[in-house]
Amino acid sequence: MLELEGQFSVLDVLQILAYKPGEYEVRFGDEFLHIANGNVTFYSGGSPEKCVRAVARYRGAIKVRPTRARRAFSFPVDELVVRAIFEAPGEERGLPEEFADAAESVRKELGEGVCLAIFSEGGEPILLSGDEAEARRCWRVWEISSHKLVPGLRRLTLVAGQEICFFIKARHQVLMGKASARVGVGPLQEALDRLARKFWAGNGEPEKAG
Amino acid sequence: MENLKRLVKEHPDLISLEVVEAGEGEIGGALKELLEVEGDLEELILETEGETLAFVRAPGKPAFVFARLKRGATLGFYRRLLKEIASEL
């Protein structure tokens, strides 16, 4: 039994357990997850996606003990750690969990290589799901277009080689989605319109363009 | 050029239609910057409350067919039309 008292990150513990044989329970706050031979197999809060966000958020005491792991799914610990580090931090900046769930479902719908981001007007990614450097590069397209091509830009669609990119502006934020050109401009726009409606539902609709 | 003018007359949703070279003028300057960020840029559609600007690149060239469209114009149709023009540049 390992007990860590203080402000610890679950990620630190998971990295130790990622390649350790055996079955363990990691308890953090009121929640726990089970690991069996390098795979997370159970999370008390539900799906692996929710687990990613929970472990990214948590700071505090952690208890680890050997156990017979429950098996609801199998998700490699090292992948969970990477996703928690690179994808989930946006949520810590106050975005609702429902949006993170909706974003996850859009990612699944649009397939591999999808990048989703919500930028502040200044170009800072408030939420990011995907490659940050790529998202920032896409932001440059919005920035140049809105400053130098057309003031009052509300929606932007970009087709470039094998990739397509779509932006929607709402108030002081900009939602961006990038996907493979195979997805098609129409389906990408529809998926992001849906996501934008979901995200801004509590605060009115996103601004509509012509 | 005459051909572009004729197309504007024929299509009521088309406000204007022109060819813009990247690097030339204000719009061309912005397009050049965009090409530096996204070298494979093929199409760019910018929607505001009142109008839609569509840029379609001539294949392999730093030149774009640039159309100003009225609000509510059928984008699919005009994207195809602009692609057709761009392929002949």
What's the start-to-end Cα distance of chain A, in Å?
62
- The verdict on B15 touching A (C-beta cutoff 8 Å) is no
Classified as helix, coil or strand, B3 is helix
Chain centre to alpha carbon of residue A174:
16
Closest CA to A208 of B21, B72, B66: B72
Q: How many helices, marked H, and strands, marked E, lie in chain B?
A: 3, 4
The structure tokens 């022109």 sit at B18
Residue A112 exposed, middle or buried by CB count within 10 Å (0-12, 13-18, 19+)? exposed
Question: What is the C-alpha separation between A156 and B47, in angstroms, rounded?
Answer: 6
Structure tokens that stand for B57 in this block: 């690149």
DSSP A123-189: S-EEEEES-HHHHHHHHHHHHHIIIII-TT--EEEEEETTEEEEEEEETTEEEEEEEEGGG-HHHHH
User: B38 — contact with chain A (CB < 8 Å)?
Assistant: yes
Question: Which of B26, B44, B48 has its CB closest to that of A154?
Answer: B48
Interface probe, candidates B48, B56, B57, chain A, greatest A C-beta count within 10 A: B48
Which ipTM score applies to this complex? 0.92
Give, for all 210 residues of chain A, the pLDDT tens digit: 788 887 788 888 888 888 889 999 999 988 999 999 999 999 999 988 889 888 887 888 999 999 999 999 999 898 888 777 766 554 444 455 666 677 777 878 887 678 888 888 788 887 777 788 888 999 999 999 999 999 889 999 999 988 999 999 876 788 999 998 888 888 888 888 888 877 765 444 444 443
| Chain B contacts in chain A segment 148-167 (CB below 8 A) | 148-163
Nearest to A158 among B44, B47, B71 (CB): B44
Partner-chain contact A154 B34, CB within 8 Å: no
Within an 8 Å CB–CB cutoff, is residue A187 touching chain B? no
Q: Do A145 and B43 touch (CB under 8 A)?
A: no
